[in-house]
Structure 1
């Protein structure tokens, strides 16, 4: 699904929803992607929702299409909640999402060397953990 560009300098955006990025015993983990149309590669931002580790989902994201229209690939990924899997499962899920974005960078127009993480509350904590522990 695409949306038309809005303000001057904004790009049309192509959405991919319910993209499976990992499989766990509890089922598949999904992400939504908003990709700016046009020549890439584009920097990417992975959004991680808050919810105190026990609630929330990937749809609790800021307006990702707005950022995509300005030239960022935006992803919103889910992670297993604490009622399903204890820590560090959530951290492993975030790392899987980053690996998926890197592995599929060419297909999604992503610059694999320019992937950032952003989140609120528990999602911010996970973003910091992933950033501080480096690639593995």
Structure 2
């Protein structure tokens, strides 16, 4: 059984919003589920899996500057701040949230994997597994 965890975390690597999908499902499903929970921030860092024109338009409608590199199959290259994306592991004051990209989210996923139940996936049921993730994320957020 495969699952994919989509997350929004703040600039300190604390989880803010989580969404679990099946493993072979596209990242666009996770982006569509999490886009309504995005707060008012200036910029969002995301990885190539979230490169979609509709996602960029939604971010621009919310006045959020997307910093997402274009996918490899994109015919016209997507514009993004290459310098900011390259320095994504450093904290920025104007970037409050990141969408599964950058060192901060990787730190958050590493902290989740410190929980043995999450790392080894004891729970085969997706609801029980997500409950364990939510419990670990709550403790990570407050520590």
TM over 0.5: no
Task: State the TM-score, normalized to the length of structure 1.
Answer: 0.29
Which of these two proteins has the greater Rg computed from alpha carbons?
A: 2
Q: Which has the higher helix share?
A: 2
Task: State the TM-score, normalized to the length of structure 2.
Answer: 0.28
Q: Which has the higher strand share?
A: 1
